[in-house]
Amino acid sequence: MKYEKKSNPLFNELNQVIDFANIRKQHIIEASNKAIEKAKANLESISKIPQSKKTFENTMLVLDNINNDLMKVSEIISLFAYVHPDDGIRNESLERTSQLGRFFNEISLNEELYNAIKTYSKISEALGLKGARKKYLKETVEEFERNGFALAKEEREKLKIIQDKISDLGIQFDSNISSHEDFLIVTKEQIDGLPEDYKKAHRQDDGTFKIGMEYPSYIPFMKYSKSDEARKELAKKFKNVAADKNLDILKQILIERRNMAELLGYKTFAEYRTEDRMAKSPKNVWEFENKLKEKVREKAKLDYEELLSIKRKQRNDNSVETIESWEAAYYDNILLKEKYELDNQKLKEYFELNNIIQGLFKIAQHLYGVKFEEVKNLSVWHDEVRFFEVFDKNKLIARFYLDLYPRANKYNHAALFGMISGKKNDNVFQIPTASLVCNFPKATEETPALLTHRDVETFFHEFGHLMHDLLTKAELSSQSGTNVARDFVEMPSQIFEHWAWDYEALKLFAKHYKTNEILPENLHNKMIKAKNVGSGLQNLQQIFYGILDMTYHDKYDAAGEKSTTEIVRELQNEITLYKFQEGTHFEAGFGHLNGYAAGYYSYLWAKVFSEDMFSVFEENGIMDQKTGLKLKEIVLERGSTIDEMEIVKEFLGREPSEEAFIRSIGL
């Protein structure tokens, strides 16, 4: 079945750029309906092939093509659900994302398809498969069986109902977070301490200031406002994002996940989730988290004492024994300025957004032997979106979009959104396309867009994801780019953060926005000295998030009497050194509970591995192109064509170790 090319911009030819500006609501409805219709016809064709005539091409490759065609529509519609400025398109996209999610569930529970693939897996051609094709077949069969094909048909119907519920609830959970609008109105006195450009951007006609929940608004206020009362109130609002809607939804998600796991024969959802990941079991995750918790706590206690000494000095009161969670960023900033003499506002003057983009490009181009070129006046979904093409030896290999600034109803964090996967398509490679969605501060009349160093690090992190997605050479879209085990996916992004710290790399882009002076070496030395300030507290916070997630999915009954908030309170007070802020429901706005679901541990898991892998650059030189090309060829190009642990070992040339991570946090 072939699409008839009409006026719908989503029905584009292979490797044709999408006309985003002209996509309308009707195009989204039509594209999702036709994608499903086409997929159904092709699924039927797989089931009809007699056993004697089954081949990889007419069975497994067709399945990969089906997934690829569906994802090309669903990924773009999903992106629109979070970033499109038009309410109608955004809402329709959300609805169609739900429709497509249900159809993916249908495929995963399609008995005829499972029987066709299981039958193919037993014939001689299948038994002789090697490499990526063998892995794809094995994992496809296993995934079907993880989806219930050991169950009777009646039980599978129950499973489908549960999976549809989970999908719909998850979409609503995320939507409630991204559409939540709240703010704090503060006075001139309460905003004291904030820089002038921030005050100007937030000032209202009546002389008060409106502080929103988006990061560029929230984080500076928590760091610089001298008003403890205002910071406490803003933190309370921030930790109650979507609490009016998502507490019930989260409870229901956890109940349905447990029902699903038990129906499939697993004790917990965490057991189900970790089985096909690097970790393999909840037991390995608990051992990982608890082992790190003890080591990291040593550093966290030292960090806490440093903050206490600052608070005592500021308050002129040596009896102070507690730092509240809403005070941490404020005293941390004073600590950096007074003890480490690091002024983040001064540092920000060296991080102008366009310079960062140019420097980021120079580094990636040098390490990976590629070239980025911007294409102007292209059809995009918002006039601030920029478009780039990636070339390798003058051959176009990838494309990407940058959507960098906050706006109303836009996804309010930083993330990579995949759009089109890399994939061999007969003799032509399908050009991978993705977008980076960020929320960096805009330029003002007085200054260009200046980023904190934390924002710079975030940009490098997300760009690491982007390179993983775009530099793929995988034959199958199911194995290309970031389609890897969830506890591996953060490694390439976390490795790339290091180039936001190294002086050799920083000299390429860290220039004062007025004088063009390169970041002075003495200021960089202060950055490095201050790098591990609070590293114990920050990593302990990550351990708390990971343990919270695992507790919800491995040791908690959401249908019982204890609420999700009671679990947050208990674990925060037990693990972190900051007391739980009463009256808050942080978990309602913790989007990772939907996306990562018994997988949040993977951030720290990947961090431990990524620090180990980065140690190869430390040995050979951070700008060593030979090591960069090795990373590109062994890690970035492969996707999940081989087992992820084998990728790590091959790059390292040895067994992995946690030593580099422990060193990296200052222990």
In sequence order, which residues have a C-beta less than 8 Å from that of residue 47 and are 6 or more positions away?
112, 113, 115, 116
Q: Could you tell me where the beta strands, DSSP code E, fall in 593-640? A: none
Burial class (CB in 10 A: 0-12, 13-18, 19+), 391: middle
The pair of three-digit structure tokens given for residue 389, joined into one six-digit string: 């093409």
Alpha carbons 633 and 222: distance in angstroms, whole number: 42
In sequence order, which residues have a C-beta less than 8 Å from that of residue 205 and are 6 or more positions away?
none
Question: Which helix (H) or strand (E) covers residue 335, if one does?
Answer: helix 328-338
3-state secondary structure of 212: strand
Alpha carbons 468 and 492: distance in angstroms, whole number: 7
Whole-angstrom distance between the N-terminal and C-terminal Cα of the chain? 60
In sequence order, which residues have a C-beta less than 8 Å from that of residue 358 and are 6 or more positions away?
508, 509
Q: How far is CA 418 from CA 78, 437, 596, in A?
A: 10, 11, 16
For residues 444 and 252, the answer to whether their CB atoms sit within 8 Å is no
The backbone torsions φ and ψ at residue 67, rounded to the nearest 5 degrees and listed phi first, read: -60, -40
Alpha carbons 348 and 333: distance in angstroms, whole number: 14
Name residue, tokens 């492969």. Answer: 638
Tell me, what DSSP letter sits at residue 579?
A: P
Residue 652's identity, in one-letter code, is: L
- In the chain, what is the greatest distance between 2 CA atoms, to the nearest angstrom? 85
Give how far the C-alpha of residue 304 lies from the chain's centroid of Cα atoms, to the nearest Å: 29
For residues 209 and 199, the answer to whether their CB atoms sit within 8 Å is yes
CB atoms within 10 A of CB 102: 15
Residue 232's identity, in one-letter code, is: K
Considering 214, 352, 462, 637, which one is annotated as catalytic?
Answer: 462
Known catalytic residue at 462: yes
Residue 610's identity, in one-letter code, is: S
Residue 471's identity, in one-letter code, is: L
The pair of three-digit structure tokens given for residue 49, joined into one six-digit string: 């092939």
DSSP assignments along 149-171, one per residue: TTS-HHHHHHHHHHHHHHHHHHH
Active site residues: 462
